[in-house]
Amino acid sequence: MVLAVKENFPQAAGDPKAVAAAITALTASFGNRVVTSRAVREQHGNTLTWIANQPPDAVVFPQSTEDVQAIVRICASHHAPIIPFGTGTSLEGHVNAPQGGVSIDFRDMNKVLAVHVEDLDCVIEPGIQRKALNEYLRDQGVFFPIDPGADASLGGMAATRCSGTNAVRYGTMKDNVIALKVVLANGELMTTARRAKKTSAGYDLTRLIIGSEGTLGVITELTLKLAGIPEAIAAGVCPFPTVEACCNATIQTIQSGIPVARIELLDALQVKAVNLHSKLGLPETPMLFLEFHGTDASVAEQSRRFGEIAHDLGGGPFDWATQPEDRTRLWEARHHAALSNIALRPGSTIVPTDVCVPISRLAECVTATQRDIAESRLVAPIVGHVGDGNFHLTMLVDMSDADEVRRAKDLSERLVERSLAMDGTCTGEHGIGQGKMKYLLAEHGAAALSVMSTIKRALDPHNIMNPGKIVTLA
C-alpha cells in the first residue's frame, strides 16, 4: 500500500543515553531553566485522571520562539522526545512522557504581543492562560470566547482543539485561531497564515496544527479571533422533570435559531455535587444552565423564547438575571462541576469521558448512558455542552477496587461504542492523547488513520514530537 510504509518508521525515540546527552546540552544553553527534580518532573506528567503519571526526564522553560527552536534542534540531534506543556489540565495523558524526553513548559512565554481591536484579533504567546488574557482584554471591550472551564493555556487549548461552554455560539478553537507560529521537528519556524480573516492560499496548516497535540510541531505564537463584549448578557437556570426534557429543550432551542451562547446540561447528581461545593441551593433535578448574548432587547427576546420552549416541555420556571455577580456565581459553579464531584466521593479518582453525538440522538444517548451507569453501580454525574451534542460523565472511581475499575472501564468503552453507533465521536473536545488512541480506528477507519500516520511520519520522521499520542505506529 502506498500510504503506509510502516516498517520505515522509527518507533522508539527516547534512548535513555541520548536523552541524557540532550539534557546535558540543554543545560549548557539554558542553565537553571532546565529542571530535573523529581517533584517538578512529576508535575509535568499527567496528574488529573486515572492515567498513570509518566514524568519527562527534564523540564525546560523557554522565553522566546528562538529558545524553542534551539531546544527542538538539540532534542532532534539526539532523537530525544519533546512534550509541550501549558498548564497540565488536559485529561487524556497528553503531557505524559511514555518514552521519556523533555517537557517544554511555556510558563514564561505568556505575553500578549498585540491587540488589534479594529480587526477583532490579538497575537499572543502560548503560555498565557484564558482568564489572564480576558482580564487583559476587558478594558478594550473585547474577549476571547472559548472557555473549557479549566484556566488552561491558549497554546494547550489550540493543541487539543478544545471548546467548552461557549462553543455552541462561538465555535471551537478551530474556528477562533487565525494563524500560528510553529516550531517543526527540524527546528524550523513555520508561520501558518497571515492576519487576514479568511484565506484560500494553500493547505490549511493552521487547522492541521490545531488538535495535533504537539505531535507535528510546537506552537510558539497564536493569532486569535476576538469577539466584542456583548452589550447585554442574561444567564439563568431552568429545571426540568427529566434529562430527556433537557435534551429536547436544547434541540428545539438550536433548531429555532435562538443564538444561545451557552446551554449546559447538569443531571440531578451533578446538581447535588454543585450544591455541595458551591452552595447554590438549587433543586436537585435535571437542569439547564443558559446564557444569552446580545443587546438588551435581543437577550430579553431570546430568554422569553427559551422560556416558552421550556414551559411546553414541562420545565421551568426559567429565572434569568443580567447582574454580573449572579452570572459569575452560576458559571463558577458550573466550571467547578468536575472538581465538585470529588465531594460526592472523597478520595476517588476521576475517570473523564467526552462523547459528542448529532444532537438528534442526544436524549437517547444520555438516557441510555444513565441506565448503563445505574446498572454498572458507578457514581458518575453528567454535565454536557448539549447545544453541540457533547456530554461528559465524570466517573468517580475507587482505584483500589479492581472490580469497580473494571466496571468503569467497561462503561467507558460502551459509551464510546454508543456514540460511534450514533455517528458520534469518542472525543468532542478533550482530544486523543494516550487515553483515546484505541478508538481512533473504529471512529475514522483504516484509510484516515493511515493518512494521519503518513503525515506524522513525513513531518516528524524521527518521531520526537510528543510520541505515543494520537497515532499508533506499531
Written as nine digits, the cell of 409 is 472501564
Cα 286 to Cα 65, 81, 228, 266, 314: the distances in Å are 47, 45, 32, 6, 12
Contact range with a copy of itself by CB under 8 A, out of 49-57, 80-88, 167-175, 330-338: 167-175
Contact range with a copy of itself by CB under 8 A, out of 271-279, 330-338, 355-363, 405-413: 355-363
Return d(Cα 288, Cα 384) in angstroms, integer: 9
* 430 near a copy of itself, rule: CB under 8 A: yes
**Residue closer to a copy of itself, measured from CB, 61 or 439:** 439
**Residue closer to a copy of itself, measured from CB, 224 or 333:** 224
Contact range with a copy of itself by CB under 8 A, out of 40-48, 101-109, 127-135, 226-234: 226-234
With CB under 8 A, what is the number of residues at the site for a copy of itself? 100
**Residue closer to a copy of itself, measured from CB, 96 or 425:** 425
Q: Report, in Å, the least distance between residue 297 CB and a copy of itself.
A: 6
Return d(Cα 227, Cα 119) in angstroms, integer: 10
Torsions phi, psi for 238 (to 5 deg):
-140, 115
* 230 near a copy of itself, rule: CB under 8 A: yes
Q: Of 34, 115, 269, 359, which lies in the binding site for a copy of itself, with binding defined by CB under 8 A?
A: 359
- Binders of a copy of itself among residues 194 to 223 (CB under 8 A) are 194-205, 207-208, 210-212, 216
Q: Of 19, 243, 426, 465, which lies in the binding site for a copy of itself, with binding defined by CB under 8 A?
A: 426
* 17 near a copy of itself, rule: CB under 8 A: no
**Residue closer to a copy of itself, measured from CB, 291 or 354:** 354
Q: Compute the chain's Rg from CA coordinates.
A: 22
**Residue closer to a copy of itself, measured from CB, 268 or 357:** 357
- Binders of a copy of itself among residues 277 to 306 (CB under 8 A) are 295, 297-298, 301
Amino acid at 181: K
* 264 near a copy of itself, rule: CB under 8 A: no
Q: Of 29, 53, 134, 186, which lies in the binding site for a copy of itself, with binding defined by CB under 8 A?
A: 186
Return d(Cα 459, Cα 269) in angstroms, integer: 46
Q: Report, in Å, the least distance between residue 459 CB and a copy of itself.
A: 6
**Residue closer to a copy of itself, measured from CB, 135 or 188:** 188
Q: Report, in Å, the least distance between residue 100 CB and a copy of itself.
A: 22
Closest C-alpha among 170, 169, 334 to residue 258: 169
Q: Of 135, 151, 332, 423, which lies in the binding site for a copy of itself, with binding defined by CB under 8 A?
A: 423
Count of beta carbons in the 10 Å neighbourhood of residue 183: 28
* 369 near a copy of itself, rule: CB under 8 A: no
Residue 347 exposed, middle or buried by CB count within 10 Å (0-12, 13-18, 19+): exposed
Return d(Cα 59, Cα 41) in angstroms, integer: 7
Contact range with a copy of itself by CB under 8 A, out of 43-51, 124-132, 255-263, 332-340: 255-263
Q: Which residues, at least 6 apart from 415, have a Cβ–Cβ distance to it below 8 Å?
A: 353, 355, 369, 372, 393
Q: Of 24, 37, 256, 328, which lies in the binding site for a copy of itself, with binding defined by CB under 8 A?
A: 256
- Binders of a copy of itself among residues 100 to 139 (CB under 8 A) are 116-121
CB 191 within 8 A of CB 123: no
Closest C-alpha among 284, 267, 166, 313 to residue 225: 166
CB 382 within 8 A of CB 392: yes
**Residue closer to a copy of itself, measured from CB, 322 or 454:** 454
Contact range with a copy of itself by CB under 8 A, out of 189-197, 238-246, 267-275, 367-375: 189-197
Q: Of 43, 99, 163, 220, which lies in the binding site for a copy of itself, with binding defined by CB under 8 A?
A: 163
CB 181 within 8 A of CB 218: no
Written as nine digits, the cell of 85 is 506543556
- Binders of a copy of itself among residues 38 to 97 (CB under 8 A) are none
* 425 near a copy of itself, rule: CB under 8 A: yes
**Residue closer to a copy of itself, measured from CB, 396 or 471:** 471
Residue 198 bridge partners (DSSP): none
Residue 393 exposed, middle or buried by CB count within 10 Å (0-12, 13-18, 19+): buried
* 190 near a copy of itself, rule: CB under 8 A: yes
Residue 349 bridge partners (DSSP): 397
**How does strand 382-385 pair with strand 349-352?**
unpaired
- Binders of a copy of itself among residues 143 to 162 (CB under 8 A) are 160-162
State CA 295 to chain mean position distance. Answer: 30
Site string for a copy of itself, 235-254 (x = CB under 8 A): ----------------x--x
> What is the per-residue DSSP string for 57-82?
SEEE---SHHHHHHHHHHHHHTT--E
